[in-house]
Amino acid sequence: MSDSPTYSISTDRTRLDAALVHRYLSSDSYWARGVPLEIVQRAISNSLCFGLYQQDQQIGFARVVTDGATFGYLADVFIVAGHRGRGLGKRLIAAVMAHPELQGLRRFMLATRDAHGLYRQFGFTEPKNPQVLMERHDPDIYQHGTEQ
């Protein structure tokens, strides 16, 4: 998949810079601070991943955990500093939402603390019936070393 001559988006896992993804998630993200490299590698292996590139340099990432039929969970979306504010996050999410394996899903979810405006542009809303949703959440799992 390509967006322009300068930027491209690919789902080819072999192009991903796992070290970059790990660095960002473990150091710069608020949701996965301290995540071990092995966990990032396992998440990449078991997800539909999207790399955003400027020429051959990866500058963004998103992944979807999905069964490819009924459910998807969008996670770990980021654009590295220095490339933000150019509409690249919007382009990355547009590519995710247009991907053939993600069409017709009954439920597509995500969690965000600060990007509601971006995701609303793609039809995401607060849960209509939050009382039917439950979660088991340990936001500090990587700090106390008990990976589940």
| Whether the predicted pLDDT of 3 surpasses 50 | no
User: Could you read off the pLDDT of 18-46 as tens digits, one per residue?
Assistant: 999 999 999 999 999 999 999 999 999 99
**CB-based contacts of 39, cutoff 8 Å, min separation 6:** 142, 147
Token pair in block for residue 15: 């192009």
Q: How confident is the model at residue 140 (pLDDT cuts 50, 70, 90)?
A: confident
> Checking DSSP bridges between strand 107-110 and strand 71-79, what pairing results, if any?
parallel
- Residue 148: the pLDDT is 46
What is the Cα 145 distance to its own chain's centre?
Answer: 23
What mean pLDDT do residues 122-134 have?
94
Alpha-carbon distance values, 72 to 20, 64, 105 (Å): 24, 6, 7
What domains, with CATH codes, occur in the chain? 7-144 (3.40.630.30)
pLDDT digits (tens, 9 = 90+) for 45-93: 999 999 999 999 999 999 999 999 999 999 999 999 999 999 999 999 9
pLDDT at 2 over 50: no
**pLDDT confidence of residue 19:** 97
pLDDT confidence of residue 1: 53
Query: Rounded to an integer, what distance in angstroms lies between the CA atom of residue 140 and that of residue 105?
Result: 30
Q: Whole-angstrom Cα distance, residue 114 to residue 40?
A: 22
